[in-house]
Structure formats: structure tokens, C-alpha cells
Amino acid sequence: MNKDFYEICYEILLYYLNFPDVADTYKSIGDGIYYYKNYYQIKMDFDNRKCEVINYISNVRKNNIIDTYKNGLNPLILVPVSSGKSLFQASPQELYDNLQNEIPRLILKGIYQIIKHFNEMADDNDLIAELLQEDINTLVKYDIRGDVNGQT
């Protein structure tokens, strides 16, 4: 995972909160960061918050356009590795790993939303494939900027 790419994208999202869908995605990212930073490892606390974390993960996975990408017969690269368990059966560490993977997926969703606002005709599958490359040149290509001076 290209951490620098995701940090830049996250900062860019701030400049496009005037779009309601981007603002909603940004809020979901913030919620995920909150859960991630405040994840409870103590058994009693984990049991009390487990349903809350599972509901968050389930809700952000609903209708995430990033999940529609298919590369030939291979499903999306970023879907968390599953041990065949449901989230309710997951250990605290497995649930934490799933939670951690949602944040970059949501960041990509937000950047996708911004690009589509300015490039409605961009092919969804091609655009998602480009975003999954985690290349800053994709932001340049679509002229997505993170400040008023036009610098990403």
C-alpha cells in the first residue's frame, strides 16, 4: 500500500466537501479512523463495542463503488483477506484487520467521487483500476487538486 498516496488523497478530500457524497465518505473515513485509533483490545471493552465496529464495517461496505471492480476473473484487490468467518465470528485481531482495510478503500471511494463530479463520462472500471494503482499521476491526469494554488 502506498501510504503517501493515501495521505495525499485524504488531504485532497477536504477541498471537495461541498459535494454531499464526498462529505459523507469523508465522515465515514473519520469514523473509521476513530474506531481504529480507539480500538478496544481488553476483552470486556471489545465485547461491548464489537457490534458497533461490525455495524460500521458492514455499512461502509454497502454500495462502495470500489467493490465493483473486477480484473478479469479476479475480485477486487483490496477486499480484506477472510478466514471464512463472518465478522461476528472474527477474533478481535481479525476484526481490527478488517477495520484497518476499510479506511483506504473509503479514501479511494472519495477520490473516485470527486473525479466523477468533473469527469462524468469516465469509465467506472477503468477509473477504479487506475485508482487501485495508487499512482499520484492519476490525480494529475484528472486534474484533482488539493489546494487553491492548484498543487496536489
Provide the whole-model pTM: 0.84
The predicted structure's pLDDT at residue 84: 67
Domain ranges (residues) in the chain: 3-141
* Separation of alpha carbons 81 and 60, rounded Å: 17
Task: Dump pLDDT digits (tens) for 103-134.
Answer: 999 999 999 999 999 999 999 889 999 999 99
What nine digits make up the cell of 141?
A: 491526469
The predicted structure's pLDDT at residue 5: 94
* Separation of alpha carbons 124 and 71, rounded Å: 12
Note whether 5 and 134 are within 8 A (CB): yes
Note whether 75 and 29 are within 8 A (CB): no
Task: Dump pLDDT digits (tens) for 30-75.
Answer: 999 999 988 876 777 777 788 899 999 988 888 788 877 655 444 4
Angle subtended at Cα 95 by Cα 90 and Cα 99, rounded to the nearest 5 degrees: 155
